[in-house]
Amino acid sequence: MCTGAELMLLQIGSGVVSAVMQMDQAAQAADRARQQALDSYAAAEAETKAAYAESNRKQAEAALDAMTEKSDAIRKANEALGTLRATETALSDASLGTIFFEDSYGQALTYERLNTNLSRELAAIESEKYGAEQAYINRTTQAQNNAENLIAESNARATSAILGAAGSGLNVYANNKAQDNLIAAIKKG
């Protein structure tokens, strides 16, 4: 049979073991939160790199398409110019100059339109990159906040476990003293 002091030590020891287990669980939860944040950072970085790569591919494709359109327009203009030169002898200088001017003006408008379209397309693709960057910032900020919250909660649980063990030990001690005083009073009386 256990004496009162032994029983008190067993109860205190049980409280300490429980507190140590709770602290260990809290530390594990904090480690998981840190790892989840790191995993989220890595996933966000990979996603952002993929979005940037796709945007760069689209930009290169748009530039190639614009060059092809310009090349086609130049080829068409050169063909028209060749036709005009062939008929040059039949036209007066004034008529030929007017035709050259109108053709050159039309080609200049075409080139300007192609440049404007390319600029718009490239700006839209740059906007996609900015969106990917903002998504990365939002995702990593959220992961960091979640990790900080979980770590704070884990630390609070560990502190609560320590305080609970101390309180339990004090309570066991106080109960044991009260019981000893009661037994001593009964024996006297």
Give the number of other CB atoms < 10 A from CB of residue 69.
16
* Total number of domains constituting the chain: 1
Q: How far apart are CA 9 and CA 169, in angstroms?
A: 9
pLDDT in tens, the chain (189 residues): 566 667 666 776 777 777 778 778 878 888 888 888 888 888 888 888 888 888 888 888 888 888 888 778 777 777 776 666 656 555 555 565 666 666 666 666 677 777 788 888 888 888 888 888 888 888 888 888 888 888 888 878 777 777 777 777 777 777 777 777 877 878 886
User: Measuring CA to CA, how many Å separate 128 from each of 29, 118, 134?
Assistant: 37, 15, 10
Whole-model pTM over 0.85 = no
pLDDT (0 to 100) of residue 97:
62
What is the residue-wise DSSP string for 104-135? HHHHHHHHHHHHHHHHHHHHHHHHHHHHHHHH
Domain limits for position 12: 4-188
pLDDT of 9 reads: 67
User: 92 — phi, psi (to 5°)?
Assistant: -80, 165
pLDDT for residue 188? 82
